[in-house]
Amino acid sequence: AEPLLDVQDLSVEYQTLRGPVQAVSHVSFSIGQGEVFGLAGESGSGKSTIAHAIMRILHSPAVITGGNVLFDGDDVLEMDVDGLEAFRWRDVSMVFQSAMNALNPVLTVGEQIADVIQRHQPTTTKQQAKDRAAELLDIVGIDRNRVDDYPHQLSGGMRQRVVIAIALALKPQLMIMDEPTTALDVVVQKDIMQQIEYLKKELGFSILFITHDLSLMVEFSDRIGVMYAGEIVETTNAHELFNKPLHPYTQGLMASFPALVGPKETLTGIPGSPPNMLEPPSGCRFHPRCSKAFAPCPLQQPSLREVEPGHFVACHLY
């Protein structure tokens, strides 16, 4: 079957005073119907830039310099203003980290959900939109009687659930979640992610899941792409990535996060610092930090190759 989202060879550049920065380089991945695809990697590796490029909400000085983004066969990068208006929220919606703080303080949560519905479905009556808003609150685990509450009357976790309700309002086929629960405490995070997983099964949408929290990522993703310095360096299913990471960077990430169960261990971390993206290292961009680097690494850029069925890695070791 054709994937729902197919990102092909996407590149994004930031024009800075000190020169162009290649924030995303030739990134390809696809997401199937009902699938959760996770993007992992340190901050600054290009994860959010990819999300913004897919939604076409990148702003200057960021420019898409190449590639295609196909949604259900349509090229998102070619859409005009009207096409985009329909695409956003209806086909693809987005929940980001601080979204709960972007709710309008002078409107009730019900009004804000109803507003999205009426804007995209103008034939909906006010009462229908409000009923649907109450139903959506129910769906995300908030008592529907809170439909007339203002954001300040709700906790942070409840406000983020309202944002998810808004993202679900038009029954999108894909939800992009960029650090959707990062601002919340661990118990609330888990609770919300479990609810999203349940909703995903009920409603059948797909998710692009971005988080720096690897344990959440491994738990909730079907497949994961690991990014380093604007490139995907490894991609496979979550179970395999966790149990048998092949790329030395992924191995470092996996070693640096505490056990999923049991006592929290200290973080070992990956020695060295993220690369200067103005002058990325030659050859393999990870080579200055890689304990396994050998002769070809600084000279030749490794390409992403399938080394086991469905398991792709960009590293000269394989």
Q: Mapping DSSP to helix (H, G, I), strand (E, B) and coil, where does residue 96 land? A: strand
Work out what residue 48 binds among ligand SF4, Mg ion, none; the CB cut-off runs from 5 to 8 Å by kind: Mg ion
Residue 180 binding: pick among ligand SF4, Mg ion, none (C-beta 5-8 Å cut-off by kind): none
Judged by beta carbon distances under 5 to 8 A according to partner kind, the member of ligand SF4, Mg ion, none in contact with residue 69 is none
Q: Which of residues 251-310 bind ligand SF4 (CB under 6 A)?
A: 284, 286-287, 290, 292-293, 297, 302
Instruction: Spell out where 72-211 has E strands.
Output: 74-75, 92-96, 174-178, 206-210
Per-residue burial over 65-86, b if 16 or more Cβ lie within 10 Å, else e, is eebebbbbeeebeebeeeeeee
How many residues touch ligand SF4 under the rule CB under 6 A: the total is 13
Spatial neighbors of 266 by CB under 8 A, at least 6 apart, are none
Q: Which is nearer to Mg ion, 48 or 206 (CB)?
A: 48
Residue 315 makes contact with ligand SF4 by CB under 6 A? yes
Cα distance between residue 262 and residue 258, in whole Å: 9
Please identify the residue of the shown chain whose CB is closest to the bound Mg ion: 48
Question: Binding residues for Mg ion, per CB under 5 A?
Answer: 48
Q: Tell me, rounded to whole angstroms, the distance of Cα 242 from its chain centroid.
A: 18
Nearer to ligand SF4, 132 or 311 (CB): 311
Binding to ligand SF4 by residue 312, rule CB under 6 A? no
Cα separation, 113 vs 129, in Å, equals 8
List the structure tokens of 98.
């601080």
Bridge partners of residue 176, in order along the sequence: 94, 208
Q: Quote the Cα angle for 275-318-237, to 5°.
A: 80
Instruction: Identify the residue among 67, 248, 252, 275 touching ligand SF4 (CB under 6 A).
Output: 248
Q: Draw the binding track, 191-230, toward ligand SF4 (x: CB under 6 A; -: no contact).
A: ----------------------------------------
Q: Which is nearer to ligand SF4, 171 or 292 (CB)?
A: 292
151 binds ligand SF4 (CB under 6 A): no
Return the sign of the alpha-carbon dihedral for residues 273, 277, 280, 285.
positive
- For the CB of residue 310, give the shortest distance to ligand SF4 in the complex, in Å: 20
Q: Would you tell me which residues interact with ligand SF4 (CB under 6 A)?
A: 247-248, 284, 286-287, 290, 292-293, 297, 302, 315-317
